[in-house]
Structure 1
Amino acid sequence: MSIYKTALDEHIIFKQIAECADRLGVQAFVIGGFVRDLILGRPCKDIDIVCLGSGIALAEALAEALPDRPNVTVFKNFGTAMLRSGEWEVEFVGARRESYRSDSRKPIVENGTLEDDQNRRDFTINALAIGLNAKNYGQLLDPFGGVEDLRKKIIRTPLDPDITFSDDPLRMMRAIRFATQLGFDIEAETFSALARNKERLEIVSKERITDELNKIILAKKPSYGFKLLLHSELLQLIFPEMVELLGAANLEGKTHKDNFYHTLEVLENVAAVSDDLWLRWAAILHDIAKPATKRFDQKLGWTFHGHEDKGARMTPAIFARMRLPMNEKMKFVQKLVRLHLRPIALVKDTVTDSAIRRLIVEAGEALDGLMILCRADITTKNPNKAKRYLENFDKVERRMNEVEEFDKLRNFRPAVSGEEIMTTFGLTPSPMVGVIKESIKEAILEGVIPNEHAEVFAFMLEVGAKNGLKPIH
């Protein structure tokens, strides 16, 4: 008995697809990622079915046969259909032959054979198919040696890689994404073709490129993907600011570390403790402005003064260009970039409660992420130095927890709002409202007044009086 038949039999949905296909006289095959992951022993809930016949008819027949009677979404222009049943998402498509124009990655599609369909696949490990009809149920079809490439942990194109990548340049990003996610190598000729065809990425939308980049960033070992992007010369096109971090410098016997590889170490440290995409982006961008702020001082050596502030100013432009969300996600990353040096300044025994309060208030809900980033930023190879730095961060966190009203500070809101200031003094929105609000904030953070309404209101009246204002009632 085929091991693949046994594996398919573990999931009743494949028997149901097989029965529907035989009843309709349609040849059906499960193909691509599900087969790859089945062989690798990885979980996969997305099933792609290729049909020699109508995929739409097979999807509708399966929906009728399934107990939950799922809805079928039909894409008539593409001849495809999709349904969701329980944990499964199943997509049906007729076998296709594809040809490409030089100015588009969207193919001209014609009906084809299973061989045509396997030929158009991006990599050998994604061209694997298993028969689903009674006559070939569980039979593996592997025309390009995909199983052997899985065994060798190799990413390789089924056909000439120059043609594969030129036809659909997004496959270059996918090659690196699969290598990163699976921990595979990219076969030498396939890898060489990445650099030869890199300019073809210009016809791919920024959104699609960034989608693949985010999948690389979310991998278990994202630094591997960035190294592949760098050496394939794709990173230079999609993220030149990161490439500028590359290289150490030595002048008059004073050196600075290679900030590109330091950034990858920080990213790995974050990835080891968090799956948060935006925290990982903060790791990537935390030193992004070091090239722009690099200076050499004969006494101090290399300096990067203000790189955290400039990096925070660079963050929105990078997000906009890469079509990343310009919302609270960007603001979270921007805040971490701006604040990533702050906690290390708080390790002195003489640090005041007000300094601790200020950091808690400025970081707000991003505080936990900030402390993860700061710990990840310790990449020294000196174990004694690393131990000392980590103990310092422990000290900062203890001080934070000791500060009165820690939880309230993380969601800091002065007890008197801007609206109440305007109502009290009969003001319209103006700089004076901002002056009073800032005075109140400073007084609370310095511990001059508690953040209680009566005390804050009284203080507001004092500030108003000093600025020639009287309450209107």
Structure 2
Amino acid sequence: MENNFSPYLKHPVFKVVSQIAGENNLSCYVIGGYVRDLLLDRPSKDIDIVVVGNGLELARMAGEKLRVKKVNYFKNFGTAQFIYKDLDVEFVGARKESYQRDSRKPIVEDGTLEDDQNRRDFTINAMAINLHPDHFGELVDPFGGIEDLDKGIIRTPLDPGITYSDDPLRMMRAIRFATQLDFKIETASLKAIKENAERLDIISKERIMDELNKIILCPVPSRGFQLLFSTGLLHRFFPEMTALQGVETINGHSHKDNFYHTLEVLDNISENTDNLWLRWAAIMHDIAKPPTKRFDEQAGWTFHGHEDLGARWVPRIFSRLKLPLDHKMKYVQKLVRLHLRPISLVKGNVTDSAVRRLLFEAGDDIDDLMTLCNADITSKNEFKVKRYKKNFTIVKEKLHAVEEKDRIRNFQPPVTGDIIMKTFGIGPCSEIGTIKAAIKEAILEGEIPNEYDQAYAYMLAKGTELGLKVQGSISKQAN
């Protein structure tokens, strides 16, 4: 591969920094992820520029020449940043770092380019391209990063044991890059991750989740989870998931390994959606199988109620992992709770009543639920999978037909509490809830259509049953 990349540095930022470097005799380089992605022919929106000197001053001069409206200065960190057109550009002075064992925050000193490259996490992120006009476009690659790119290897510039112990988040990043790029982690590096797994405990859950979510959003996320599991990192922050691993056999009957089944479901769903929280639902759908596992001589292995227990676990797990506790958590919780419902329809007769109830409970998330359940159809028996998928198609068709006919999704009974009170001349009381629940059940069971007139007549009959007397006539049209 060529070692001069000036033809690829056409963006105005590089030309301006090169001009400043020449005028002020500064050693400036574009470094890190932008260089890596340039060599991999991947798009990149972030430029990191390192200068042997004052990064804040270089950012100021570049901002003036480019007529940037605002340059953001972070004096405590010695960095500055601005947005120019389509790129996020960050400037920093070259530095060297040292660490204390109880913190991943380094002690920083001014340094040389060599010092700055030494502190980088991986060889593929330590490459720099010179921006000085006398050497514009020349690659500075002291650790063989370009060769590691060609071979598809994740390797640390210095001793991996020290690199990972100093900043344990780098272990998560190693696995993330291996998953994103479909690279292998070098043997010595993989061994060092296993040996330093407990060091991950000093990292905040927010930082861990940031890396984990990037792994989950990869095309084949199972690869990252297998590395997290085999290195012991997953055990440090997600023991509920590692507890899924393993197979137990009694009297010749074995259950499937629910850890690897979960990864298969995650990969399946990743082929059909980039929705992070739908992928999280795939991760969580069987999370409560270990405590619900039972063996019965007639039924074999069962996991009764794991969907309800799993749904109850979702808020606790999300809270501990510092994941959002808003509508995203509730969405995952709902899908975990309902994930067996479409499958049970596949196994039995698909009645309109069962379909109405599923539509009512899933609401606008019905399509995502069906995507999850389709991904959950896994078996080594190809005939069994084909049969399930064929039946699953029937269920989807039935859902569509019932939805078209009954408009059940997110429905509210057409008769309101206000209408009930005016009709029977009553104030707020338990009878109103009883009547509304009865109307809802009648519609879901198909006893009456989801229409005002029929619901109103049903309300009158139910009210009479409860001993209520009609006090006034209400217009026969929905408010």
Q: TM-score scaled by structure 2? A: 0.93
Q: Cα gap change, 1:421/1:20 in structure 2, threshold over 3 Å: closer, same or farther?
A: farther
- What amino acid sits opposite 1:7 in the alignment? Y
1:128 and 1:427, CA in 2 relative to 1: closer, same or farther beyond 3 A? farther
State how 1:296-375 maps to structure 2 within 5 Å: 296-347=295-346, 350-375=349-374
Q: Which residue is 1:411 aligned to?
A: 410
Per-residue displacement from partner, 1:102-132 (whole Å, max 9, x unpaired)?
A: 2211111111111111111111111111111
Contact 1:195–1:232 under 8 Å retained in 2: yes
Q: CA deviation at 1:234?
A: 0.6
Distance in 1 separating the partners of 2:363 and 2:257: 32
Q: Is the 8 A contact 2:4 2:138 kept in 1?
A: no
**Using the alignment, how far apart are the partners of 1:260 and 1:22 within structure 2?**
57
> Offset at 1:345?
2.0
2:450 corresponds to which residue?
451
1:405 alignment partner, SS class: helix
1:462 Cα deviation from its structure 2 partner: 4.1
Structure-1 residue corresponding to 2:63 = 63
Aligned to 1:120: 119
Q: In structure 2, give the amino acid aligned to 1:20.
A: I
Cα distance between partner residues in 1 of 2:89 and 2:275:
28
Partners of 2:219 and 2:279 in 1: how far apart? 11
CA drift of 1:418 comes to: 5.0
Say yes or no: does 1:442 pair with 2:441.
yes
How far off its partner does 1:53 sit? 2.0
The percentage of aligned residue pairs carrying the same residue is: 60
Unaligned stretches of 5+ in structure 2?
Answer: 473-479
Give runs of aligned pairs for residues 50-449 of structure 1, distance below 5 A. Answer: 50-66=50-66, 69-347=68-346, 350-405=349-404, 408-417=407-416, 427-428=427-428, 432-449=431-448
Q: Say if 1:5 and 1:138, in contact at 8 Å, map to a contact too.
A: yes
8 Å CA contact retained: 1:286, 1:308: yes
Structure 1 counterpart of 2:60, one-letter code: E
* Structure 2 contact 21–133 (Cα < 8 Å) conserved: no
Distance apart, 1:274 and its partner CA: 1.0
- Read off the aligned partner of 2:16 and give its amino acid letter: Q
Cα distance in 1 for residues equivalent to 2:171 and 2:3:
34
Classify the secondary structure of the residue corresponding to 1:130: strand
SS in 2 for 1:410: coil
Residue in 1 aligned with 2:9? 8
Equivalents in 2 of 1:373, 1:205: separation in Å?
Answer: 30
SS in 1 for 2:408: helix
Deviation (angstroms), 1:49:
0.6
CA distance in 2 between counterparts of 1:169 and 1:422 reads 64
Aligned CA distance change for structure 1 residues 457 and 25 (closer, same or farther; 3 Å)? farther
The verdict on how the C-alpha distance between 1:230 and 1:347 changes in structure 2, with shifts beyond 3 A counting, is: closer
433 and 74 in structure 1: CA distance in 2 versus 1, 3 angstrom threshold: farther
Q: Do the aligned residues in 1 keep the contact of 2:169 with 2:208 (CA within 8 Å)?
A: yes
Q: Secondary structure at the match of 1:235?
A: helix
| 1:45 counterpart residue number | 45
Residue in structure 2 matched with residue 35 of structure 1 by the alignment: 35
2:476 is aligned to: none
| Cα shift readout 1:23-77 (whole Å, capped 9, x = no counterpart) | 344321100000011111111111001111222222222222226x342111121
CA distance in structure 2 between the aligned counterparts of 1:185 and 1:287, rounded to whole angstroms: 29
Equivalent pair of 1:95/1:112 in contact (CA under 8 Å): yes
What is the Cα deviation at residue 451 of structure 1?
2.8
Structure 2 counterpart of 1:370, one-letter code: L
The number of residues matched between the two structures is 470
Is the Cα contact below 8 Å between 1:100 and 1:108 reproduced in 2?
Answer: yes
The letter for the 1-side match of 2:204 is S
Task: Determine the C-alpha separation between the residues in 1 that align with 2:40 and 2:357.
Answer: 50
Q: Which amino acid aligns with 1:296?
A: F
Assess if the C-alpha contact under 8 Å between 1:46 and 1:88 holds in 2: yes
Given that 1:426 and 1:471 are in contact with CA atoms closer than 8 Å, whether structure 2 keeps it comes out as no
User: How far is the alpha carbon of 1:437 from its aligned partner?
Assistant: 3.1
Question: How far 1:417 moved relative to its partner?
Answer: 4.3
CA deviation string 1:213-246 (max 9, x = no partner): 1111111110000010011001111111111111
Deviation at 1:80, TM superposition (A): 0.9
The code of the aligned residue for 1:386 comes to V
SS at match of 2:172: helix
Cα gap change, 1:433/1:157 in structure 2, threshold over 3 Å: closer, same or farther?
A: farther
Q: Which amino acid aligns with 1:201?
A: L
- Secondary structure of the structure 1 residue equivalent to 2:157: coil
Output the CA distance in 2 between the equivalents of 1:443 and 1:60.
70
Question: How many angstroms apart in 2 are the aligned matches of 1:410 and 1:265?
Answer: 30
Q: What is the CA distance between 1:249 and its match in structure 2?
A: 1.8
Structure 1: segments with no counterpart, 5+ residues: none
Q: Report how far residue 2 of structure 1 moved.
A: 5.1
Instruction: Give CA-to-partner distance per residue, 1:283-336, whole Å, 9 cap, x none.
Output: 111111111111010111111111111111111111111111111111111111
Per the TM alignment, residue 83 of structure 1 is displaced from its structure 2 partner at its CA by 0.8
Given that residues 49 and 92 in structure 1 are in contact (C-alpha distance below 8 angstroms), is that contact kept between their aligned partners in structure 2? yes
Q: Does the CA contact (< 8 Å) of 2:406 and 2:449 recur in 1?
A: no
- C-alpha change, 1:60 and 1:436, in structure 2 (3 Å) is farther
Task: Say if 1:4 and 1:139, in contact at 8 Å, map to a contact too.
Answer: yes
Alpha-carbon distance between aligned partners in 2 of 1:83 and 1:89, rounded to the nearest angstrom:
6
SS at match of 1:82: strand
- Structure 2 distance, partners of 1:329, 1:458, is 40
Superposed displacement of residue 458, structure 1: 4.4
Residue in structure 2 matched with residue 23 of structure 1 by the alignment: 23
Task: Report deviation, 1:457.
Answer: 4.2
Describe the SS at the equivalent of 2:450. coil
Spell out, residue by residue over 1:186-209, the C-alpha distance to the aligned partner (whole angstroms, 9 max, x if none).
Answer: 111111111211111111111111
Partners of 1:24 and 1:459 in 2: CA distance: 86
